[in-house]
Chain A
Amino acid sequence: MARALINVPANAKRGDIVEIKTLIQHEMETGFRPDNMGRRVPRDIITDFVCKYNGQEIFRAELHPAIAANPFFVFTTVATESGTLSFEWTGDNGFSASETAKITVE
């Protein structure tokens, strides 16, 4: 499975805006590059990334080949309650990866 790195503050005050950083290992083959025989390498990218906060979607991205290899996203959310942030990536050729992170809100 692809390696994913998630950076979420472990603790936050209620109402604070927290920054979430995610990075996942993936080549993001564009489908536009020729191989050494001149044939086009088929596209193989992550197409969707969703982040949920206690089951509710807070961030969703549709990715195209113009996203660099190892897709990296920084976004924010308001710390509303303690719980789990879940991250899910899906893409070409049945690619699927998920990760979770805990956050404690006081």
Chain B
Amino acid sequence: MLALTTRPVSATPESMRAAIKQVVGDATPTKGKVKIDLPPLIENGNAVALTVSVDSPMTQADYVKAIHVFTEKNPQPNVMAIHLGPRAGKANITTRIRLADTQKVVAIAQMSDGSFWSDELEVVVTLAACLEGV
């Protein structure tokens, strides 16, 4: 008999777009200012070091309000939402994320003036996270 397990439906480029739309509304993020740092080839998707940095003076008048990260093929498109302010000094965040597949990762920064900036990166994942049994 075939051993079958129920596999979660993965996010799709459409559901990622929908999740992004929830954040940016009708605005279109401009490419630039944001930089995603991920290894291009990921052996183990269970813990991948991710750094997102945004080019901003981080002053009272001009700072990064929020950084959002999305993925295309994880079970859910949302990865994290970070809220910061001028007291951060610089907009530079590092964490560790899970990646379920070879896919596109998108980061969107919201500036204090309301503008949105983005970056995207294609990564190759050889061992996927999230889906294997306990």
Contacts and interface: CB of A to CB of B under 8 A. Distances in A.
- A and B are interacting partners: yes
Interface string A31-66: 011111010110000000000010010111111111
Contacts of A17: 89-90
A68 B89 contact: no
A101 interface: no
A65 B87 contact: no
A75 interface: yes
B84 A59 contact: yes
Contacts of A95: none
A66 B95 contact: no
| B interface, size bucket | 35 or more
Contact of A66 (B80, B85, B94, B133): B80
A68 B82 contact: no
Interface string B91-117: 011111111000000000000000000
B98 A68 contact: yes
Contacts of B76: 64-66
A69 B47 contact: yes
Given A17-B90, A32-B8, A65-B76, A72 B82 contact: no
Interface residues of A, number: 34
B96 A66 contact: no
Interface string B25-69: 000000000000000000000111000000000000000000000
B97 A66 contact: yes
A91 interface: no
A77 to B, nearest CB: 6
Nearest to A61: B82
Given A38-B5, A69-B47, A59 B83 contact: yes
Interface of B: 5-6, 8, 46-48, 71, 74-76, 78-85, 87-90, 92-99, 129-134
Nearest first, the 8 A-B pairs at minimum CB distance are A17-B89, A74-B94, A68-B47, A68-B96, A62-B81, A66-B79, A78-B89, A60-B83
